[in-house]
Structure 1
Amino acid sequence: MSKPETIDRLTERQRACLELVAKGFTSKEIARKLGISHSTVDNHVLAATQLLGVADRREAGRLVAQLGQQLPRQAAGLTDEEKTSIVGVQEELQQQISAGLKLVPPIGGKLNEQTLGHKTIQILSLAFLSTMVVIAMALLISGAFKAFR
Structure 2
Amino acid sequence: MLDERLDRSGEARLTQRQADCIARVAQGLSSKEIARELGISPSTVDNHIASAMHQFGFANRNAVARWYLEYRESMAAAETVQGDRPDQPQSNSKSYFRVRIPTIGGIRNSLSLKERLFAIVQVMIVSTMVASTLISFVLGLIFFLKLSKVAV
TM-score normalised to the size of structure 2?
Answer: 0.41
Q: Which has the higher helix share?
A: 1
